[in-house]
């Protein structure tokens, strides 16, 4: 769903602000094999019957699609799995499989602006895809089976391992999940838990994500979970799903998200979703957490989860999820802000300590000569450039405009782009407008696009502390392959 028709659908309002318009028709140059710029998916209805013992699924995904041009045939992303039947607007449609595409030819052409209700029946054992952000490592994305359980981590392009998708970051949609599992198991997905009921000796869990979500944030988990429900001080339900045997002290780490959520609301405005949750995955090959929308994924090996990590994935719900990046090259917006809020949370009662930590981060960025925060290739997406130089860029902006103007800007970004997406250029434009400070443009352009590390405003002659420059102790990409400390994260 593009921002434009989300607004039309939800508020009947014309698109008012140019700053929000994401390039919904672009194919992301980082992953040209993925996505289809001729269609706009409005909603996915994903029904999966999962056998956690064998890993097999029986699936049916309904897609409500708007044709952006006259359509005689179109492609969706889908890897592996056997497709048994496709219908478009209730009539059987012919289809072929080529590479990672499911190509569909409706019985009759669909006019520009027309609606297609597409129904895809499929099954088999999903296989995770090779991770194109880590070409030299054996890393995978999407649907995984681990012991008698399954889980999903898709960033950036794993979604098509378990449902037919328009796997394009700017095409956001609503999602309904029906996850059917054997008795004793729990099916978890994004959003609000609608309920569960017995079906043919099994149990079906229904989840609804009724805020626009990008494909890579969709997640489904099947396991024997213990579940804990609490409430944030503001009333938002906070769920934790952990495999049995995870200690209470570990689970309490995620429950802390409620307090963080309510604190972040005072800075950046209302939490954008109806509930928040954390789901724990015990597979030792998973070494990072992921901010899957309203239901973050954490590796059990972080014992207990650091507050920084919990704060990081929570901050992503505003920045990266509700307001997502229209193009992968702009991921600094998500990772830089999530990292910034790790520092905010840790030093919330000590502004001087916050500044000191940000200066240490700056010294690290200088010492490592971290290049532009906007990256040019997929293998840079989860590097220190997006996380740490991204956070340093935000700190430079905050030094320039002051704390209250800075948070004012962030609140506007979160509010005005809610459910939509943003680009670096959109961020710069908004920052200039809300600060009323024209120097913000060259400042941000230098931080985001130039490889040289700019000076911090007001601190041009400053010298780094003597001694070795340590990498800041932030959660973000710490466990990533870039730092070769994956084992420390287990
Ligand atoms: N977005 C995640 C986070 O910052 C990290 C994801 C790393 N993904 C990957 N494919 N290595 O919490
Ligand atoms: Zn992150």
Tokens of 95: 């289809």
Give residue ranges with CB within 6 A of ligand 1: 131, 133, 155, 288-291, 312-313, 335, 382, 476, 480
Residue 334 CA, distance from chain mean position: 8
**Averaged pLDDT of the chain:** 92
Whether the Cβ atoms of residue 42 and residue 173 lie closer than 8 Å to each other: yes
Pocket test for ligand 1, best of 136, 155, 338, 489 (most atoms within 8 A of CB): 155
Tokens of 426: 């959109």
Check residue 486 and give its pLDDT.
Answer: 40
Per residue in 419-440, pLDDT (tens digit) is 999 999 999 999 999 999 999 9
Instruction: Among 9-18, 268-277, 481-490, name the most confident range.
Output: 268-277
Per residue in 349-363, pLDDT (tens digit) is 999 999 999 999 999
* pTM listed for this prediction: 0.93
| Mean pLDDT, range 3-31, rounded to an integer | 50
CA–CA dist 168, 35 (Å, integer): 5
Cα–Cα distances in angstroms (integers) from residue 270 to residues 139, 265, 337, in the given order: 36, 5, 16
Phi/psi at 348 (5° precision): -60, -25
Pocket test for ligand 1, best of 295, 299, 477 (most atoms within 8 A of CB): 477
Q: Considering only CA atoms, which residue is closest to atom 2 of ligand 1?
A: 290
Check residue 476 and give its pLDDT.
Answer: 61
Q: Check pLDDT > 80 for residue 22.
A: no
Residue 204 CA, distance from chain mean position: 25
Check residue 2 and give its pLDDT.
Answer: 55
């Amino acid at each position: 769903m593009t921002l434009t028709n989300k607004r039309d659908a939800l508020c009947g309002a014309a698109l008012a602000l140019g700053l929000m318009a994401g390039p919904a028709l672009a194919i992301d140059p980082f992953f040209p094999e993925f996505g289809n710029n001729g269609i706009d998916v409005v909603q996915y209805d994903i029904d999966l019957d999962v056998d956690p013992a064998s890993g097999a699924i029986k699936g049916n995904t309904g897609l409500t699609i708007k044709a952006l041009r006259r359509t005689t045939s179109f492609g969706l992303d889908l890897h592996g799995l056997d497709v048994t039947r496709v219908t478009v607007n209730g009539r059987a449609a012919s289809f072929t499989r080529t590479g990672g595409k499911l190509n569909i030819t409706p019985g009759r052409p669909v006019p520009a602006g027309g609606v297609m209700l597409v129904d895809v029946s499929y099954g088999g054992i999903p296989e995770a895809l090779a991770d194109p952000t880590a070409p030299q490592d054996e890393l995978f994305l999407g649907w995984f089976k681990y012991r008698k359980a399954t889980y999903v981590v898709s960033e950036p392009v794993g979604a098509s391992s378990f449902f037919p998708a328009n796997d394009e970051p700017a095409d956001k949609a609503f999602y309904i999940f029906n996850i059917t599992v054997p008795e004793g198991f729990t099916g978890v997905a994004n959003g609000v838990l609608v309920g569960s009921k017995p079906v043919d000796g099994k149990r079906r869990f229904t989840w609804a994500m009724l805020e626009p979500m990008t494909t890579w944030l969709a997640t489904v988990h099947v396991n024997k979970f213990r579940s804990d429900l609490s409430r944030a001080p503001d009333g938002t339900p906070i769920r934790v799903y952990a495999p049995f045997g995870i200690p209470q002290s570990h689970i309490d780490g995620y429950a802390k998200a409620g307090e963080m959520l309510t604190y972040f609301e005072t800075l950046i405005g209302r939490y954008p979703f109806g509930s928040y949750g954390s789901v724990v995955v015990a597979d030792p090959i998973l070494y990072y957490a992921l901010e899957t929308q309203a239901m973050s994924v954490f590796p059990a090996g972080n014992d207990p989860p650091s507050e920084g990590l919990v704060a990081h994935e929570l901050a992503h719900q505003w920045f990266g999820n509700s307001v997502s990046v229209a193009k992968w090259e702009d991921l600094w917006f998500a990772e830089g802000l999530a990292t910034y809020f790790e520092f905010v949370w840790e030093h919330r009662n000590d502004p001087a300590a916050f500044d000191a930590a940000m200066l240490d981060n700056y010294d690290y960025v200088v010492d490592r000569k971290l290049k532009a925060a906007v990256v040019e290739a997929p293998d840079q997406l989860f590097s220190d450039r997006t996380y740490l130089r991204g956070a340093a860029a935000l700190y430079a902006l905050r030094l320039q405009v002051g704390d209250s103007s800075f948070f004012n800007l962030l609140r506007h970004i979160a509010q005005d782009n809610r459910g939509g997406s943003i680009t670096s250029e959109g961020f710069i434009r908004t920052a200039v407008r809300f600060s009323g400070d024209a120097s913000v443009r060259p400042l941000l352009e230098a931080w985001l696009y130039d490889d040289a590390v700019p000076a911090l405003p007001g601190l041009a002659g400053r010298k780094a502390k003597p001694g070795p420059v340590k990498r800041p102790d932030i959660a973000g990409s710490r466990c990533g392959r870039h730092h070769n400390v994956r084992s420390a994260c287990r």
